[in-house]
């Protein structure tokens, strides 16, 4: 962020300086035409430098925006990323997750395996 | 003799138990399983200490079966069976009625209804990942006869 602000300040200076040069050039036109030619080339160089810096600043801003979006997407779509470390397979095609006390057969929830692996009620009170 | 017993005990303790389970580290769950586990975590944390694991499992099961009945052909809910299951929220871990005053009863009912609705909605979303497999798995569980306390109409 600081880097971007520095670039923006530098661009502002580089754009304003040629503008000041242009203003003075207009006043000096009748005084020294040859001198004006030199200042004209300086102004062109300043504008080119300004345009270049604007392009650099735009690229940096775009990169920062992209990074922020990637970070946000990581938060937004990262749900469930922590699951799987406590998974085990009691049988073929069966996966159970200890932390959540859930079992799945070929990716689908299974009452049978969930109940057999995580018997939650020693009194078997009816569910 | 005492030494032999000690040696046998040490040897037996070194043998891993034959549980038939294999760990599956590094397995990245599918999107559907991720959704299920995330919803389960959310429901469990919402219910808090007012509900035990039996209540949680029951409410999750009701939500799943309701989603099956809502989206899969050939399934319907038996209202009486649904009530019999849902009303277990009023029981303790020994199957006896909990001592609840009116405000506690209201809190229990609201939390349970919220958990059931969350599970129902989550399972509808999970079914959308692979609706055919979702319904097929439910059919196999119903016809398998190994699962008690299903609330689907027969």
Region A72-82: mean pLDDT is: 60
pLDDT of residue A69: 77
User: In this structure, is residue B98 part of a structural domain?
Assistant: yes
- Neighboring chain A residues of B58 at a CB cutoff of 8 Å: 127
pLDDT digits (tens, 9 = 90+) for A20-75: 555 555 555 555 555 555 667 788 888 889 999 999 999 999 998 888 877 766 55
pLDDT of residue A12: 54
User: In this structure, is residue B16 part of a structural domain?
Assistant: no
Domain that holds residue B40: 29-144
User: In this structure, is residue B56 part of a structural domain?
Assistant: yes
Given A85, A90, A114, which is nearest B25 (Cβ)? A85
User: In this structure, is residue B19 part of a structural domain?
Assistant: no
CA angle B151, B109, A118 (to 5 degrees): 50
**Model's pTM, two decimal places?**
0.65
CA angle B132, B22, B58 (to 5 degrees): 50
Region A108-119: mean pLDDT is: 90
Phi-psi region of B20 (alpha: psi -120 to 50; beta: other; left: phi over 0): left
User: In this structure, is residue B111 part of a structural domain?
Assistant: yes
Give how many domains chain B has, as a whole number.
1
Higher pLDDT, residue B79 or A13: B79
Confidence of residue B11 (pLDDT cuts 50, 70, 90): very low
pLDDT-above-70 percentage for chain B: 83
- Neighboring chain A residues of B21 at a CB cutoff of 8 Å: 88-90
Give the A:B interface size as CB pairs under 8 Å. 119
- Neighboring chain A residues of B90 at a CB cutoff of 8 Å: none
């Amino acid at each position: 962020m600081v880097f971007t602000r520095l670039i923006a300040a530098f661009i502002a200076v580089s754009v304003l300086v040629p503008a000041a040069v242009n203003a003075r050039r207009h006043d000096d036109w009748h005084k020294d035409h040859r001198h004006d030619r030199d200042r004209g080339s300086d102004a062109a160089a300043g504008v080119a430098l300004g345009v270049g810096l604007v392009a650099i600043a735009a690229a940096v801003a775009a990169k920062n925006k992209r990074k922020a979006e990637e970070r946000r997407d990581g938060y937004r779509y990262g749900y469930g990323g922590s699951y799987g470390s406590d998974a085990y397979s009691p049988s073929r095609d069966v996966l159970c997750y200890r932390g959540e006390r859930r079992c799945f057969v070929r990716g689908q929830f299974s009452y049978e395996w969930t109940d057999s692996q995580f018997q939650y009620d020693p009194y078997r009170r009816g569910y | 003799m005492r030494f032999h017993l000690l040696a046998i005990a040490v040897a037996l303790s070194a043998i891993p138990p034959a549980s038939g389970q294999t760990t599956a580290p590094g397995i990245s769950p599918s999107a559907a399983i991720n959704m299920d586990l995330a919803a389960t975590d959310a429901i469990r944390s919402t219910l808090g200490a007012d509900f035990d694991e039996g209540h949680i499992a029951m409410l999750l099961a009701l939500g799943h079966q309701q989603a099956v009945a809502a989206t899969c052909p050939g399934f319907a809910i038996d209202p009486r069976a649904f009530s019999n299951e849902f009303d277990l929220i009023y029981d303790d871990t020994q199957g006896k009625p909990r001592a609840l005053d009116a405000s506690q009863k209201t809190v229990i009912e609201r939390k349970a209804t919220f958990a059931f609705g969350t599970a129902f909605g989550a399972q509808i979303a999970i079914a959308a990942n692979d609706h055919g497999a979702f319904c097929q798995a439910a059919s196999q569980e119903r016809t398998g006869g190994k699962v008690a306390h299903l609330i689907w109409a027969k």
